[in-house]
Amino acid sequence: MRELNDPDTVLEHQPGSNHKISTKKDDPVATQHLNSALHAPAVPPAYPMAKPGYGKRSAVGQQRRTHDDFALLPTRERYVAGFVDRLPDGAAMSIKQLAKQLPLYGQQAIGTALNALSVAGHLRRVRCAVGAGDETRWVSRTFWSRTARDNEWWNTYLATENASRATAPTAPLEAPAPPGLAAPAEAPAPTAVPLQRTPPEAAPDTAPPTAPPASPAAPAAPAAPAGPAAPAAPPAATARSAAFSPAYLALAELGRKDIRLALSADDCAALEPQAAAWFARGVDADYLIAALTAGLPAQVDCPPRFVRRRLTDKIPPYRPAGHSSPGTSTPAPSPARRLLVECTDCGRPGRPEALPDGLCRPCRAAHSEGGGAPSVDPAEIADVKAHMANIRDLLKAP
């Protein structure tokens, strides 16, 4: 009887049978909107990893993972954040790779979600210097924090990372060289050969028997220099690099630091005098490269003209080499910055203080302006409707 009184119960009669089967309808109100938040997909076991030195890096001091993580974010941002949070360190963090693994959203939507996560304090994209000397290269990394952090926390954390990189001893790239140098270290034998030849010249009458033993030792002398003959190749490369000035080498390095400033050999030779003027004022190659690559536009149409203009406009003040500040015995140059923050949207590098929320000034202004739908005046809507009604009346008139 309870089923007959239930308004959601439907009686079905099967042909050829006197029995009625009661089924209960699904209540659309009770089954809709069980959970408005999308569950982040599981990370596939074959998710691509970035090259060594690139990819995701987890920040320190994060809270434990719970089901309420990212609960205050919109649906799309929460979906993307839940997936990124489960990625291992070193995973590829490019927009293209994330869009391949998240089929619900395209690359444009993924990029917008990453910008929102940067503003919310969950990630920062940085550019780190790896290596030392001529082997230095810049790699892109994404620092991720499950716990939302403010700008002050990120600035302090990235400053600590930069200080640790500047003071940490770099791994010697030529560590395996000492075993190879062991053979030249035992090379006093060739010096003993001339000592055996000099006595016969000083006293040829008193020691004639000593001359025959010197002859069998002579064949051993050519065998000893055969070991150090391998390092004879580096002088050619050293002479080739020594033929160029530091200004020329710094200009040639611009294209490797940022492809937008790639210069040809003729361009480097033409701009070399202007770059040499910078070195004459007491700056080094790192300072010159950082000054020329800072705040680049999205596209550089003519790199030589752009570099020439920056070499002229941004030339530093002249400072003699022997000049020292009051209270200091020797001028202490500031250490080269080993970590720069990149704008999450356009990739423009800068100091953490210059990129609050991980966005540069133009991208931050665009993000704040496009954050919500533009408000429409109700009076304007009424005017448009009245105008359209007037046009319809005119069309109906004979």
pLDDT tier for residue 124 given thresholds of 50, 70 and 90: very high
The answer on 96 and 17 residing in a single domain is: no
The answer on 165 and 73 residing in a single domain is: yes
State the DSSP code for 21: E
pLDDT tier for residue 226 given thresholds of 50, 70 and 90: very low
pLDDT tens profile 327-357: 444 444 444 567 889 899 898 888 888 889 9
Whether 237 is covered by a domain: the verdict is no
Whether 277 is covered by a domain: the verdict is yes
pLDDT tier for residue 133 given thresholds of 50, 70 and 90: low
Span of 30-44, 49-63, 291-305 with lowest mean pLDDT: 30-44
CA dist 156 and 352 (Å) reads 9
| CA distances, 37 to each of 98, 147, 331 (Å) | 19, 19, 58
The answer on 348 and 291 residing in a single domain is: no
Q: What are the two backbone dihedrals, phi and then psi, of residue 102, each rounded to the nearest 5 degrees?
A: -115, 90
The answer on 50 and 14 residing in a single domain is: no
pLDDT tens profile 233-286: 455 545 555 578 888 999 999 988 888 999 999 999 999 999 988 888 888 888
Nearest-5° angle of CA 162, CA 336, CA 289? 120
Nearest-5° angle of CA 386, CA 388, CA 392? 115
The answer on 100 and 26 residing in a single domain is: no
Q: Collapsing DSSP states into helix, strand and coil, what is residue 78?
A: helix
pLDDT at 153 > cutoff 60: yes
Whether 398 is covered by a domain: the verdict is no
- Is the distance from CB of 227 to CB of 180 less than 8 angstroms? no
How far separated are the first and last CA of the chain, in Å rounded?
67
Average pLDDT, the chain: 74
Q: What is the mean pLDDT of residues 86-100?
A: 92
Classify residue 250 by burial, with Cβ atoms within 10 Å: 0-12, 13-18, 19+.
buried
| CA distances, 229 to each of 142, 222, 223, 225, 237 (Å) | 46, 11, 10, 6, 15
- Total-model pTM: 0.45
pLDDT tier for residue 318 given thresholds of 50, 70 and 90: confident
pLDDT tens profile 236-246: 545 555 578 88
The answer on 256 and 163 residing in a single domain is: no
pLDDT at 43 > cutoff 60: yes
CA dist 112 and 117 (Å) reads 9
Whether 295 is covered by a domain: the verdict is yes
pLDDT at 134: 66
The answer on 25 and 64 residing in a single domain is: no
DSSP letters, 79-96, are: HHHHHHHTSPTTB---HH
Span of 65-74, 221-230, 389-398 with lowest mean pLDDT: 221-230
The residue out of 286, 320, 354 marking a domain boundary is 320
The answer on 350 and 310 residing in a single domain is: no
The answer on 346 and 306 residing in a single domain is: no
The answer on 54 and 26 residing in a single domain is: no
Whether 149 is covered by a domain: the verdict is yes
The dihedral sign for the CA sequence 60, 62, 65, 68? negative
Among 336, 337, 340, 363, residue whose Cα is nearest residue 351? 340
The answer on 251 and 347 residing in a single domain is: no
DSSP letters, 145-159, are: -SS---HHHHHHHHH
CA dist 179 and 246 (Å) reads 32
pLDDT tens profile 164-222: 766 555 444 344 444 444 444 444 444 444 444 444 444 444 444 444 444 444 444 44
Q: Is 315 left (phi over 0), alpha (psi -120 to 50) or beta?
A: beta
The answer on 160 and 57 residing in a single domain is: yes
Q: What is the mean pLDDT of residues 118-145?
A: 85
Q: Collapsing DSSP states into helix, strand and coil, what is residue 329?
A: coil
Number of structural domains found in the chain: 3
CA dist 143 and 124 (Å) reads 5
Task: Report the percent of the chain where pLDDT is more than 70.
Answer: 62
Domain that holds residue 26: 2-31
pLDDT tier for residue 230 given thresholds of 50, 70 and 90: very low
Helix 285-293 with 303-313: angle, nearest 10 deg: 110
